[in-house]
Amino acid sequence: MPRIPYAPRIRTVLVVTAAALAARRALRGRIKGSPLWPLPALDHPISGRGREAQAPARTHRLTVTERVAEATGVIRLRLEGADLPDWEPGAHLDLVLPSGTVRQYSLCGSPATPGSYTIAVRLIEDGRGGSQEAHELLHEGTEVTVRGPRNRFPLHDSHAYVFIAGGIGITPILPMVRQAEREGIPWRLLYGGRSRASMPFLAEVEKLAGAGADRVTVVAEDEDGRPDLAALLAGAPPHAAVYCCGPEPLMDAVAALLPDAPEGLTLHTERFAPATPSPTGENAPFEVELRRTGRTVTVPADTSALRAIRDQALPDLPYSCEQGFCGTCQQRLLAGEVEHRDELLTDAERDDSLLICVSRAREGGRLVLDL
Ligand code: FES
């Protein structure tokens, strides 16, 4: 058989060509999978809310250095640690309890105090156990892990503020009132609760009223009945910013009164409440395509998309409350119709994102996420 003089060179060319083709195919797969086509898919989104949601909140190991009975059923905790990030009024922490349960608590101390955070925890006897665990296990000297702070309830600039707080809802409001006072911006506060004994930070609130005693209205239901929200809003300066935090019925009542209030009031609320249930009372299974990962996950009727994605594809996907109010699990939506079941996202945010711990595909459809 005649010897082919160029055989080794031909073999080399064939090997190099095959390798180049394989590399091209792999790159194509990444490019096609990218929502940023024609750019290759990235490990993390480079823009949009998906990126914010994926940015892991910083974790800190803190020590409880003070525990005070702030009101009946409410403890105030000071948590100290090194190198803590700054925060602004309205911010909250994710508190990781010794059992691993995560709960959100508003920061209620002073942002100007470096090295410590202050939170208050109301004991909810028939709750899901988080507040009970905090009351039982968090004492001076206990170490805890926290994530954050994060702020889903920021204080926007305004020429005047109306603050409305119910019970433990005073915790995010108090730093806002202090800031408005410091900056000389007119404010009023209505603070309601079941009884004076059950209302945390009452002494400080009454002190804040200072010379302008009519700036603060304290309503203890067992002595004064229900607060007159309509009168408060009717007396608000036009275009004032209204900040409200407390039980759901309080926030719903304020929202319902707003159309009859002076012109241009804007309402800002923070709801730490469970997600809206399905309108039909039942869930349907659906599929989620993870575009950048190149996987499709089936979400059973009795499981959230968050759980299914963590179990089947991305075990480190961040989350916190699993109830649709902290925003940690917000993901960018590339395609599909969503049944939003949270109270957190704005309409604009809902156009291209969802909270995967509670929201689902509409009518058992399919969602495509930038994951
Ligand atoms: S984990 Fe908190 S909103 Fe989804």
Cα 81 to ligand 1 centroid, rounded to whole Å: 26
Peptide bond between residue 38 and the one before it cis (omega within 30 degrees of 0): yes
329 CA closest ligand 1 atom index: 4
Amino acid 315: pLDDT: 92
Amino acid 278: pLDDT: 61
Tokens representing residue 263 in the block = 């012109």
Our answer on whether the CB atom of 327 is closer than 6 Å to any ligand 1 atom is yes
Our answer on whether the CB atom of 324 is closer than 6 Å to any ligand 1 atom is yes
Q: List the domains of the chain with CATH numbers.
A: 57-150 (2.40.30.10), 161-270 (3.40.50.80), 286-369 (3.10.20.30)
Our answer on whether the CB atom of 148 is closer than 6 Å to any ligand 1 atom is no
Our answer on whether the CB atom of 272 is closer than 6 Å to any ligand 1 atom is no
Our answer on whether the CB atom of 322 is closer than 6 Å to any ligand 1 atom is yes
> Per-residue pLDDT tens for 245-301?
999 899 999 999 999 888 899 999 887 655 555 666 678 899 999 999 999 999 998
Q: Is the pTM of this model over 0.85?
A: no
Our answer on whether the CB atom of 317 is closer than 6 Å to any ligand 1 atom is no
Regions of the chain where pLDDT drops below 50: 1-2, 21, 23-56
Our answer on whether the CB atom of 320 is closer than 6 Å to any ligand 1 atom is yes
Amino acid 14: pLDDT: 56
Amino acid 34: pLDDT: 35
> Per-residue pLDDT tens for 293-337?
999 999 998 899 999 999 999 998 888 778 887 788 999 999 999
Cα 307 to ligand 1 centroid, rounded to whole Å: 11
> To test ligand 1's pocket by mutation, which of 94, 270, 319, 350 has the most ligand atoms within 8 angstroms of CB?
319
> To test ligand 1's pocket by mutation, which of 328, 349, 353, 354 has the most ligand atoms within 8 angstroms of CB?
328
